[in-house]
């Protein structure tokens, strides 16, 4: 897919001809630090994220969710199996094609405090991908950055471009992380627990932003979480992961309403939802 930096009317974050992500028989093991043997972090996992859909990957810590994120973004190589994004093979990509991968697949991290360099301004961080990957001039990148900030709800953008991370609230920082991930106009966004470190009062706002971006730009979204509520709000399909294996999958609402796997039931039972939380009163 060729990008035309001259086109002014490009919608921010717009992605054309989004391919689907295909993961086949993916396995990854880590050697134990002490003692013998290998931990099978990801064990023969296969799934497809059709173009423009939002898929949730849920499971408790240690279920292999984040390892899958690291494999799909090419940070780590699988032991066996294949990951393809359109024609691009992620699992077996030679080093030089990683650039194309990074341009198409971007990640939103869990910790908005750790994901931003404390000495760089918001404007610098959000404009770098446009300059590096889209070959924009600094003037174009500055304009693009303002559009991105506006898009993620940091408005007016002029108020934010010169700010340093410590001058922002947690929710604002996560919006900057999202804006930066969108800057090189990716086709697949991987969000690893993007709201787990934010206040509950901010969660719905960030989830709504991700849902809007996904719908409006036709992005594919892999949403990784242990929080079933946010998975329900954001995704069409979910995959339930336990000990590196997919134990249940399907339409999010159906899986949560009628879980068949004992582990999915255990995840649902662990929700502490007092009655008031089950039946929220309206104002």
Partner 1 sequence: MILLEAKGVNVVYQPGRGERIWAVRDVSLSLEEGEFVGVVGESGCGKSTLGFALTQMLQPPAFLESGVIEFRGVDIAGLRGEGLRHQRRRGFAVVLQSGMNALNPVRTIHHQIGDVLQAHKLGGEHWSKDAVHDRGVELLGMVGLDSSVLGRFPHELSGGMRQRAAIALALALEPELIVFDEPTTALDVIVQAALMEMIKELQRARGFTALLISHDMSVVLDATDRAIVMYAGRIVEDQGSMQMVQGGRHHPYTEALFRCYADPRADDVVLQDIPGSPPDLSLPDSSCAFAPRCTIAEGRCWHERPLLAEVGSGGAIACHLRGSSEESAMEGRQGGA
User: Which string of x and - marks every residue 2-41 that binds partner 1 (by CB under 8 A)?
Assistant: ----------------------------------------
Strand residues in the chain grouped as ranges (E)? 21-31, 38-49, 54-58, 80-85, 88-89, 105-108, 188-192, 220-225, 237-242, 245-251
- Residues in contact with partner 1, total (CB under 8 A)? 42
Q: Which of 2, 36, 61, 139 binds partner 1 (CB under 8 A)?
A: 61
201 in contact with partner 1 (CB under 8 A) = yes
Show the tokens assigned to 176: 């900057």
Contacts of residue 42, defined as CB under 8 A and 6 or more positions apart, other chains included, come to 26, 27, 28, 64, 67, 68, 71, 78, 244
164 in contact with partner 1 (CB under 8 A) = no
Show the tokens assigned to 90: 């992620």
- Output the smallest distance, CB 263 to partner 1, in A: 9
Residue 39 gets which letter from DSSP?
Answer: E
Identify which of 196, 271, 207, 243 has the alpha carbon closest to the alpha carbon of residue 60: 243
Q: Give the SS3 label for residue 246.
A: strand
**Tokens 């869990």 belong to which residue?**
110
How many Å apart are CA 243 and CA 250, to the nearest integer? 19
Pairing relation of β-strands 188-192 and 80-85? Answer: unpaired
Show the tokens assigned to 266: 């255990």
Choices 18-26, 95-103, 125-133, 198-206 (CB under 8 A): range interacting with partner 1: 198-206
**Cα angle: 67, vertex 98, 120; to 5 degrees:** 80
Nearer to partner 1, 130 or 235 (CB): 235
Nearer to partner 1, 142 or 229 (CB): 229
User: Which string of x and - marks every residue 170-189 that binds partner 1 (by CB under 8 A)?
Assistant: xx------------------
Q: Report 219-278 residues binding partner 1 (CB under 8 A).
A: 226-233, 256-257, 266-278
- Output the smallest distance, CB 260 to partner 1, in A: 14
Q: Which of 90, 207, 221, 239 binds partner 1 (CB under 8 A)?
A: 207
Q: Which of 39, 51, 60, 98 binds partner 1 (CB under 8 A)?
A: 60
* Binding-site ranges for partner 1 (CB under 8 A): 60-62, 169-171, 199-205, 207-208, 226-233, 256-257, 266-278, 280-283
């Amino acid at each position: 897919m060729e990008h035309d930096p001259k086109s002014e009317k490009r919608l921010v974050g717009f992605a054309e001809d989004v391919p689907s992500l295909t993961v086949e028989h993916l396995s990854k093991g880590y050697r134990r630090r002490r003692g013998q043997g290998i931990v099978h972090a990801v064990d023969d996992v296969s799934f497809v994220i059709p173009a423009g859909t939002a898929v949730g990957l849920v499971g408790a810590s240690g279920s292999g969710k984040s390892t899958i994120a690291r494999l799909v973004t090419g940070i780590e190589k699988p032991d066996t199996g294949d990951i393809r994004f359109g024609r691009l093979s992620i699992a077996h990509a030679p080093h030089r094609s990683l650039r194309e991968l990074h341009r198409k697949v971007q990640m939103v991290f869990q910790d908005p405090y750790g994901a931003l360099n404390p000495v760089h301004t918001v404007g610098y961080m959000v404009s770098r991908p446009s300059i590096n990957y889209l070959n924009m001039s600094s003037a174009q990148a500055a304009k693009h950055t303002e559009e991105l900030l506006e898009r993620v709800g940091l408005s007016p953008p002029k108020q934010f471009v010169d700010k340093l991370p410590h001058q922002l609230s947690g929710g604002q920082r996560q919006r900057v992380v999202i804006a930066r991930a969108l800057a090189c106009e990716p086709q697949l966004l991987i969000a690893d627990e993007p709201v787990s470190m934010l206040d509950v009062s901010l969660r719905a706002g960030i989830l709504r932003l991700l849902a809007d971006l996904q719908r409006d730009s036709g992005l594919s979204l892999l949403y990784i979480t242990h929080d079933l509520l946010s998975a329900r709000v954001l995704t069409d399909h979910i995959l339930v992961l336990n000990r590196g294996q997919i134990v249940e999958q399907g339409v999010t609402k159906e899986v949560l309403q009628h879980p068949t796997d004992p582990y999915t039931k255990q995840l649902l039972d662990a929700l502490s939802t007092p009655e008031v939380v089950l039946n929220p009163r309206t104002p």
